[in-house]
Structure 1
Amino acid sequence: MRNHIRTTALAATALLAALSLTACGGNDNGDDGKAGAAAPAASTTATTPDTGKDTKDAKETNSGAAQAPAENASTTSTTSTTSKGSTGGSKSEKSSAGSGSKSPVTCTGSNTKVTVSKVSRPINHLLLTATNTGSRPCYAYHAPALRFDDAQAAFPVLRDSIPQAVVTLAPGQSAYASIGLSGEPDGTDLHKGKHLTVYFMPKSNSGSTGAPAELTLPANTSWGDNGFVTYWQSNMADALTY
């Protein structure tokens, strides 16, 4: 009986030892399982740098894509700057036009410099030149009204010399009128002239406007009652055709 118990105890001990070995073997299999599971993790880790590289490339691509709008924004900014510059130019041009397009005034002795000179052709003629010395354009209306010395009447105006349009002088520009000192001989006496007063006419051609110009005539000037003065012309040649 004791031997049976002893045998049973030994068998139980052997069984427990076998179970213990089985448990240890199970743990090893568990570690191997974990190691097997770790391989994909290692593979994933190995892939991760590639993925990281791809991600970097993707970032560089995105960075490049992100730069495109920035370049567009720069272009837009330049265009805007150009547009602003153009607008500024336009403003400058408007300002210039505004200064150049000041409302014209009537030419008078106050805003023009008037000179009188002899000409070789046509004979017995003088040339009047009125130059705009003001800052605004001025209209040289009609013909100048002339008075030689202390004559009682204004000098006759040649109606055939009316220009196609009113002569407008920008600052610095000149208008011209020729003076025929005598007309066809009609038996009238000539007068020795020393002084000439030049009056400017208003648009209405009634009376005179502004200050007149007071001139000294060239030496040995003689004029007759049948002489004439032309309308103001925009160029000298037109004035001297009469």
Structure 2
Amino acid sequence: MPKSASARLITLATVTAAAALSLTACAGGGGVKASGPGVSVAPSASTQSTGPTTTGTGTTGTGGTTASDTADRTTTVKPGQGSAPSRSHTGTGTTSASGLATCGTSSIRVTVQRVTRPINHVVLQATNTSSRACALYGYPDLKFSEHQQAVTAVMDGSQPQAVVTLAPGASGYASVMTEGEDTYPTERVSVIGVYLQDRSGAAGGRLDAKVPGAPLYVEEEGAAVSYWQPTLSDALTW
């Protein structure tokens, strides 16, 4: 073979090898898209999705409010606050009531208020006459006459989200419906016997609340009472 032809073949082989090496280097870098036959370029790590993996508890939880939950939370009422026509109360409603004294006969005075609305209703006002705060648990157990067979029924749905806690001089309220939807025998009442409950719901000693402008006509079997409320306006919703 002539020397010049051999030199041209050597040069061509060198160029081809160099081109192959260059293409291999570029393909390995991942930054060049190749569409030629036999070339496969994997996407670089920078183009793959690596979004965060989220783990959590979702919406699981205890939820709801039970009677025992309510007994451990308080809404504090200060003097002069209870009669305000507002549902905003002092306190967060999450203070434990377990460390407070129970409002009892020695620390509470109960009076009766007549109201025009709702009709056939009166309101009980329980005022803390002691020098320290107390918890007004549950609802008042009522007795209108000595021959009454059972304490007055409680109004469904009237339980507040927190126990009413009375600062010294403050008041809590309970609504009393004196007549039911059905017709029952009527009693002429001048004094309402009020029993205050403790944290367990047991009734303690009796307080007698005189009815202003007596007599008050009450259907003992059809009457009902609300839970203690922190304001008069709350009590009147029942």
TM-score (norm 2): 0.56
1:228 counterpart (200, 213, 224): 224
What SS class does the counterpart of residue 239 from structure 1 fall into?
helix
What SS class does the counterpart of residue 139 from structure 2 fall into?
coil
**Between Structure 1 and Structure 2, which shows a larger proportion of helix residues?**
1
User: In structure 2, how many angstroms separate the alpha carbons of the residues matched to 1:130 and 1:136?
Assistant: 15
Matched, 1:104 2:69: no
User: In structure 1, how many angstroms separate the alpha carbons of the residues matched to 2:126 and 2:235?
Assistant: 12
Letter in 2 for 1:222: Y
Cα shift at 1:108? 1.3
**1:212 match:** 206
Q: Identity, % of aligned pairs?
A: 42
> Cα RMSD over matched residues?
1.8
**1:172 match:** 169
Structure 1 runs of 4+ aligned residues shifted over 3 Å read none
User: In structure 2, how many angstroms separate the alpha carbons of the residues matched to 1:124 and 1:137?
Assistant: 32
User: In structure 1, how many angstroms separate the alpha carbons of the residues matched to 2:156 and 2:195?
Assistant: 17
**Between Structure 1 and Structure 2, which shows a larger proportion of strand residues?**
2
**1:160 match:** 157
2:142 counterpart (143, 146, 149): 146
Cα shift at 1:194? 2.0
TM-score (norm 1): 0.55
Contact kept in structure 2, 1:141 and 1:167, CA below 8 Å: yes
Q: From the CA coordinates, give the structure whose radius of gyration is larger.
A: 1
**Structure with more contact order per residue of length (Cα contacts < 8 Å, sep ≥ 6):** 2
What SS class does the counterpart of residue 234 from structure 2 fall into?
helix
Contact kept in structure 2, 1:117 and 1:128, CA below 8 Å: yes
1:118 counterpart (97, 102, 114): 114
User: In structure 1, how many angstroms separate the alpha carbons of the residues matched to 2:123 and 2:235?
Assistant: 8
What SS class does the counterpart of residue 152 from structure 1 fall into?
coil
For structure 2, list consecutive stretches of 5 or more residues without a partner in the other structure. 1-98
User: In structure 1, how many angstroms separate the alpha carbons of the residues matched to 2:133 and 2:197?
Assistant: 16
User: In structure 2, how many angstroms separate the alpha carbons of the residues matched to 1:161 and 1:227?
Assistant: 15
Kindly report which structure 2 residues correspond to 1:1-242, keeping only aligned pairs within 5 A, or say none: 103-150=99-146, 151-184=148-181, 186-206=182-202, 208-209=203-204, 211-218=205-212, 219-224=214-219, 225-242=221-238
For structure 1, list consecutive stretches of 5 or more residues without a partner in the other structure. 1-102
What SS class does the counterpart of residue 157 from structure 2 fall into?
helix
Cα shift at 1:215? 1.9
Contact kept in structure 2, 1:108 and 1:212, CA below 8 Å: no
User: In structure 1, how many angstroms separate the alpha carbons of the residues matched to 2:223 and 2:105?
Assistant: 23
Residues 189 and 203 of structure 1: CA distance in aligned 2, closer, same or farther (over 3 Å): same
Cα shift at 1:235? 0.3
Cα shift at 1:160? 1.1
Contact kept in structure 2, 1:112 and 1:134, CA below 8 Å: yes
Cα shift at 1:135? 1.3
Cα shift at 1:217? 2.1
What SS class does the counterpart of residue 141 from structure 1 fall into?
strand
User: In structure 2, how many angstroms separate the alpha carbons of the residues matched to 1:195 and 1:174?
Assistant: 20
Count of matched residue pairs? 139
Cα shift at 1:241? 0.5
